Chains A and B, each alone.
Chain A
């Protein structure tokens, strides 16, 4: 048995006729802008890249529930409280579709969850910043969900079918999330001096981290090129970033507030928006676990998992007993 395995792995260095055919079919589907589906053959690096990306996205939805859940109990009106609960609940739903999409690539939800809890998988580093005031609910909706949408709308066209389709639904809901965030800031900006100050402070804190959500600059993003060739990704990090900053530069005027970026301007020559240099050292430090909230976010998730263990065990035991009694 062992000999055969070794033999196979050595042989795979030279693709078989079937493998070459499969690769050609895959390339044709990508070239034709059609979709790869779960039963189609796909190269292992494509599967691996997608599994990583889709599961990171799912983890981000789940961890991203925490900063907002932090304000549910203190929401300043019952209507805002209801909207916030609905939003956080949508995020749990997004996590569920994305884990399902990731599972079609052959990794189970338990394994993906384990990767998150043991720190082997990442989530969007913006959630490692604290939601310190109510205005952060506005800034997170407007800037963080806004950046997420700018990133995710092109993913509706991702070459992997289940991911693209999950993204269509998610983007529709995210669009409402962004608007509710903007509406929170709009109310604050038309409110008392203290409310206006709260809104400006939240924008000041979330501006830079939200721009960094698009990932490192193009010349420092080694995986982007392959993802674009596979049509998972359709636009470069910098391109999406400048597109987003242009949108918020206009929207902030409606709020009568400002973005903390004196260098922000539209460059007529290139037709692109320019912004200040971002603090990528901080970004890397937060990704590596050094953000203000990394430890708390992870511990909260681990605690929920640990404290729920007896419930999951009991549910499994009950399901087994039911299955046995049906057989008998």
Chain B
């Protein structure tokens, strides 16, 4: 760090004096003397700039134009328009053939769109449906056309919010209001267009190739067979679907079941599948608990889980083996591995 001058920091001449080479040891008396030269020590120089001798920049043409814009057509961007977006694209019009959408924040980038977010009312509605009415996640997702993961996230966040309200913790409501006022929102009301696709399936890269599989004409070649053809472990689309019960509902309706009854069946099936999922999780947790011995000490509880060390396999490198692995690179040095957390505990 360069030497610092106490007091005023805006005197370049003072700094120059300070940085002059130290006097030699033959003249020790000089070192005791003040460092300021007599000429400059008479009065501090009046100066308005720090360390700079270049003249202040004049108002450039660009800056002048910017100021004109801010006072003219840029005036409307000072405050958000609550209820609609206020992006700069609203004032831009390249041509009649190339309109700029109001949800496009950057006029030159038509691929960047600001997507709608769930409004406060919509999120409260989702929370009510799950936590008060006790509807299954899949049914709520299908009803509001919101992805299941988003439904789960909304409920989680709402729970935290309500907990904070119970604890009288301050919420950043003005901030939330300001952000929500600037973004396009979805109320999930009747007649609104669907919020997002809910039953998309992940396309495995193995299934992106063109494949010629000889098969006999008499054979029934299903989607499951097609998946097998792409790879041993590739799942058919029906198994990859998030809400397969929706497909069953449509099948029921096509088979002549009244829609009301088909919906009731869908909700029942969704609840059953979620119960089965919860049971699986519960039994897994129970099995772990049975393997675990808890030892209480003064400071900590030690949880000792029984494992099988033979899981390392013949090479000693099996993936499910316990412990840090020998002879393989660190996880953070390996390529193509997702290192950000992908799930919420």
A binds B: no
Q: Which A residues fall within an 8 A CB radius of B? A: none
Q: Which B residues fall within an 8 A CB radius of A? A: none
